[in-house]
Structure 1
Amino acid sequence: MTEIKQITVVGSGVMGSQIAMVSALAGFDVYLQDINEESLKVAEDSLHGHINKRISKGKISLLEAEKAFARLKFVTSLEKAVAETDFVIEAIVEKLDVKRQLFAEIDRLAPSHAIIATNSSTIVSSKLADATNRPEKICNLHFFNPVLVMELVEVVKGPQTSDETADTAVELVKQINKTPILLKKEISGFVANRILGALIDEAIYLLENDIATVEEIDLACTKALNHPIGPFALLDLTGIDVNYYIRQVLYEETGDENQKPQKVITEKYLNGEYGRKTGKGFYSYNS
């Protein structure tokens, strides 16, 4: 297996920044790269907030936090971020053409031994691999939000992914103190989100047919099914815009009209009501 010493995360949103943080906390040298300087500043401030809360709760020590931040570098230069990297994790917008362009650029700049993984749960690695000259080193490495809390990571082999790449990815997940599962075949949505997707589809059906309210449906899931969070609160947390993009990808992939973003999701997307990140989604949030 490839020995991993340095990790690069591309994309400093909620997912990317927290992937970078858990990697740094585990002792790896990490670059968090984003083309937007302001986004990097927001990510750094957010991470300090999250880590300070964990310190106050006694989950980590101040020294551990300081060492992790010392290992974590925030940069706008992709070339600098991947120049000596061993493992790249892409966590940018869910748009295939943008990801393919990025993978081609990473492939050009990164060392030949480096593995390039996508955090996407809808765009499988076989759709990105041929944008590079290292298809056997391309895979999906799917984390769950919030990454600092959620334990599971799905490692997915595409038809081009080598056993060595998959084994290295699984081992890396363990080294950053997460729990891996290995999918030996590609399938859109993977395991957890396929199950979750069925739940969200049913929740939206109940809402759009005036059977119950957002609050009542979420209560049914938290109080009867013992879920930690209801489906609408979860959509607000992960981003209604993300759900919209995922449904669009599924529709384009399958041609199935049932895979299109539902009416309520489309309305909120067009209104810019993405959830917590915009202050309003299915619920309203104080800034």
Structure 2
Amino acid sequence: MAEPEIENIKNILVVGAGAMGSQIGLVCAMAGYAVAVQDISSEMLEKAQKQLAGRMDRNVEKERMTRQEADEALARLTFTTDLEDAAKDADFVIEAAVEKLDIKRELFRKLDEITPDHTILATNSSTIESSRVADATDRPDRVCNMHFFNPALVMKCVEVVRNPGTSDATIEATVALTEKINKSPVLLNREIPGFVANRILHALANEAISLYENDVASFKDIDTACRTALGHPMGPFELMDLTGIDIAHDVRMVKYERSGDENDRPKRSIVERYERGDLGRKTGKGWYTYDEAGKRVSP
């Protein structure tokens, strides 16, 4: 079996049409790749297609690209609920499905069966290392993490993480693909929970929540400090609202389930919002409140 090579990657499959998966798909299409975005929900696919078209319209309006460039990128995107059909010609798969290990393992098992033998299977997860899904396949040497950051259309960093069984050729092809889609690869030579950026980010968020819960300062003022003193583009509470408080909750739960350390559980204020369904911008309320367009209205 030939080793993976960047020159042989023509068709990309993105599994999962949420905000992250759909944007990853558009990033790849804008770089010239033929991209299939697959999801089990036709409603999710329709929503993704409409949102991506809207984003491209705004890019044209702001003269970031021509109408022709936008139309050509969108034309390279297809949306489908048929995983088998979408996978049969895929040279590279980026999985961006729900952060549940059992679901990912079953998905990787199926992808292993229906994709060509040369196909690399990458997971976008930052909480589930690829070694935990690789043994569900017969190609563990072609499995790795390829972790994008939200919003994927804007953020340049992509963490590429090898597991103990990942081949050098797979890593080289994944790093090269990251560069081809105009992102900046950060290579991790071994797996570690949270990888690089999120370990630093979670430490910051954890301290910020502790300061808030101990009534040292309001979450709004803590955000202001991070923006005006540390130069961050947004504060930790603003960022949690953007990425989803459910994500913050689930990441901590995964860490707690693996460590058994009570200190790794989600903080009280996160649990309260999670249980109320106040998950951030996508629900209209998290730490802050948002209008239907996602614009912050309070506090």
| TM-score normalised by the chain length of structure 2 | 0.95
Q: 2:250 aligns with which of 232, 235, 245?
A: 245
**1:90, CA displacement in angstroms?**
0.5
**Residue equivalent to 1:83:** 88
Deviations along 1:144-195, one digit per CA (max 9) or x if unpaired, are: 0011110010000000111010000000000001110110000011111111
Deviations along 1:107-161, one digit per CA (max 9) or x if unpaired, are: 1111111000000011000000001111010000000001111001000000011
**Residue equivalent to 1:217:** 222
**1:50, CA displacement in angstroms?**
1.5
**1:26, CA displacement in angstroms?**
0.3
| TM-score normalised by the chain length of structure 1 | 0.99
Q: Which runs of 4+ in 1 moved over 2 A?
A: none
Separation (CA, whole Å) in 2 of partners of 1:142 and 1:60: 26
**Residue equivalent to 1:14:** 19
Unmatched 5+ stretches in structure 1: none
Separation (CA, whole Å) in 2 of partners of 1:83 and 1:159: 27
Between 198-207 and 54-63, the greater mean CA deviation after superposition? 54-63
1:109 aligned to 2:114? yes
Q: Please provide the CA RMSD for this pair.
A: 0.8
Amino acid at match of 1:207: Y
1:154 aligned to 2:150? no
Q: 2:50 aligns with which of 37, 45, 50?
A: 45
**1:55, CA displacement in angstroms?**
1.3
Paired residues in the alignment total 287
Separation (CA, whole Å) in 2 of partners of 1:269 and 1:92: 20
**Residue equivalent to 2:278:** 273
Secondary structure in 2 matching 1:104: helix
Q: Percentage identity across aligned positions?
A: 55
Deviations along 1:210-234, one digit per CA (max 9) or x if unpaired, are: 1111110100000111100110010
Separation (CA, whole Å) in 2 of partners of 1:240 and 1:202: 16
**1:48, CA displacement in angstroms?**
1.4
Secondary structure in 1 matching 2:250: helix
1:257 aligned to 2:257? no
**Residue equivalent to 2:177:** 172
**1:93, CA displacement in angstroms?**
1.1
**1:256, CA displacement in angstroms?**
1.4
**Residue equivalent to 1:31:** 36
**1:58, CA displacement in angstroms?**
1.3
Separation (CA, whole Å) in 2 of partners of 1:140 and 1:98: 16
Q: 1:139 aligns with which of 140, 144, 151?
A: 144
Q: 2:231 aligns with which of 226, 233, 257?
A: 226
